[in-house]
Structure 1
Amino acid sequence: MDRQTLSALAHAEHPIAAPLGDPTVSDLLNRAIRRPDAHLLDLGCGEGAWLLRAAQEHDGVTAVGVDISGAGFEETLADAARLGVADRLELLRQDVTTYRSARKADVVLSIGAAYAFGELLPALAAARGHLAEDGVVVLGDCFWEREPSPELRAELEDGPQKYADLATTVARVVADGWTPVHGHVSTLAEWDEYEWSWTGSLAAWALDHPDHPDREQVLATSAAHRDSWLNGYRGVLGFVTLVLRPTP
């Protein structure tokens, strides 16, 4: 089973692909959407859950989501049609690094998707390029709650993106020309809910499909992720979501 399909199964019960509870997501959107007819752009939107929530809770907004995968798009668009917001939501399967649009966005979201640009600051640079004057960026990314072991750091920083502590992460964002107007650090309860849902959704699918050829792979993926979380990064890796405005 490919990575995109595994991810779609893992997020079946937790469509927000980050350790954030529903009230937190709604609060962050409320703080970011400053006008009733705001246009939103999500760079690395996953299945489009943030934008569906925004369209559902804010009657006048329009939204475009871009993701290289496209997994889950059909289900999200079907939900949008059921909720009567399909005419205000567009999901595009495209590499976010090559996406271009003549229309600037009042709110640009990048939640857990900085890796698509290589690292945090390139993700912010891309967001700035799409942002309308006096627009808002909602940025979500990991940081180290406490110093990880060398083995854990090597495991979670195996690509170009490296993490720092919370103070250093925010300082880098500020030095890049942004002012945080709000922020949320995911609680341990939010992390636990996310991880139990992630691993549990995969395990439940495998148990419900005993004859599927990918059953053992899915069970193994669930078990490996659960072990990495419980015996590795639980309480060590954090997640912060920042509401940012450009510094004049």
Structure 2
Amino acid sequence: MNRRRMSRIAHTDHPIAAPLDDSTVRRLLDRALRRGDERVLDLGCGEAPWLLRALDGHPGVTAEGVDLDTEALGKAAREAAALGVGDRLSLHERDAGDFTSPHSFDVVLSVGAAHAFGGLLPTLAAARAHLAPGGTVLIGDGFWEREPAPDIVEMLGEYEDLPSTVDRIVADGWTPVLGHVSTVREWDDYEWSWTGSLAEWALDHPDDPDSGAALEAAAVHRAEWLHGYRGTLGFVTLLLRRTTS
């Protein structure tokens, strides 16, 4: 099954592709968009749920999203039109790492997309290239809540604990001005939604060629979460400003 299609289906009922509930997303956006007229960029926007929420809740904001997924961008454009914010949203179908713009942005977002840039610090470097002086980066990534077993590291990749993660960010010239560590409830809601949406789609579409693969993927993911990384992998979302030029 195509990974992009799988992700779109799995996020049907939880458009924010990270373990964050709606109130947390709202709080982070409200803090990042204090003036209410900011220009916002999302690197790896997918269906642009962050941007749609920013535009819908802040009528003076304009936004741009970058992603390679044609179908996701199409859905984002349709939802923006339905919300009446399409005139304030520009979408670019290209690799976020190669994106260039004639102007800078007051807020740059990249939540749960660090793998696309090769890690947390490369993601921050990409965001910094688009950031206006005095601007804010909103970034989210994983960390180890406790020492992982070797098979968990092999499955998920390399992370550090929360203090080490924040220390690396600070040493790179950033100052956290707000942070949120996802709760167990947020993680559980996200994982149940991810696996449940995918499984439900498979059960509702038994004749689709991808139905069997979707049901299997949901079962594998659920087992990896419940028997593997639940309580071990954490997620932190940070609002950052530059400490040094």
Same fold (TM over 0.5): yes
Give me the whole-angstrom Cα distance separating, in 2, the residues matched to 1:172 and 1:71: 35
Aligned match of 2:109: 109
Give me the whole-angstrom Cα distance separating, in 1, the residues matched to 2:124 and 2:208: 42
Aligned match of 1:203: 199
Deviation at 1:36, TM superposition (A): 1.9
Contact 1:179 1:244 in 2 (8 A): yes
Aligned match of 2:82: 82
Give me the whole-angstrom Cα distance separating, in 1, the residues matched to 2:13 and 2:60: 27
Contact 1:8 1:71 in 2 (8 A): no
Deviation at 1:71, TM superposition (A): 3.5
Give me the whole-angstrom Cα distance separating, in 1, the residues matched to 2:124 and 2:82: 34
1:7-86 aligned at under 5 Å gives the runs 7-86=7-86
* Aligned partner of residue 97 in structure 1, secondary structure: helix
- Segments of structure 1 that go 5 or more residues without pairing to the other structure are none
Give me the whole-angstrom Cα distance separating, in 2, the residues matched to 1:33 and 1:83: 19
* Aligned partner of residue 71 in structure 1, secondary structure: helix
Structure 1 counterpart of 2:221, from 225, 228, 232: 225
Contact 2:56 2:85 in 1 (8 A): yes
Runs (4+) off by over 3 Å: none
Contact 1:117 1:123 in 2 (8 A): yes
| Counterpart amino acid of residue 215 in structure 2 | L
Give me the whole-angstrom Cα distance separating, in 1, the residues matched to 2:16 and 2:118: 22
Structure 1 counterpart of 2:166, from 150, 161, 170: 170
1:115-130 aligned at under 5 Å gives the runs 115-130=115-130
* Aligned partner of residue 78 in structure 1, secondary structure: helix
Contact 1:32 1:107 in 2 (8 A): yes
* Aligned partner of residue 70 in structure 2, secondary structure: coil
**Cα RMSD for the two superposed structures:** 0.9
| Counterpart amino acid of residue 39 in structure 1 | R
Contact 1:47 1:70 in 2 (8 A): no
Give me the whole-angstrom Cα distance separating, in 1, the residues matched to 2:216 and 2:147: 28
Give me the whole-angstrom Cα distance separating, in 1, the residues matched to 2:140 and 2:39: 19
Deviation at 1:117, TM superposition (A): 1.0
1:244 aligns with 2:240: yes
Give me the whole-angstrom Cα distance separating, in 1, the residues matched to 2:228 and 2:12: 24
Contact 2:140 2:236 in 1 (8 A): yes
1:212 aligns with 2:223: no
Give me the whole-angstrom Cα distance separating, in 1, the residues matched to 2:226 and 2:67: 29
| Counterpart amino acid of residue 55 in structure 2 | A
Aligned-residue identity in percent:
60
Give me the whole-angstrom Cα distance separating, in 2, the residues matched to 1:56 and 1:73: 17
Contact 1:70 1:92 in 2 (8 A): no
Give me the whole-angstrom Cα distance separating, in 2, the residues matched to 1:213 and 1:114: 31
Contact 2:67 2:73 in 1 (8 A): no
Contact 2:64 2:89 in 1 (8 A): yes
| Counterpart amino acid of residue 232 in structure 2 | V
Give me the whole-angstrom Cα distance separating, in 2, the residues matched to 1:50 and 1:213: 31
Q: Deviations over 1:28-75 (max 9, x none)?
A: 001111322100000111211000000000010000011122332222
TM-score (norm 2): 0.98
TM-score (norm 1): 0.96
Deviation at 1:93, TM superposition (A): 1.4
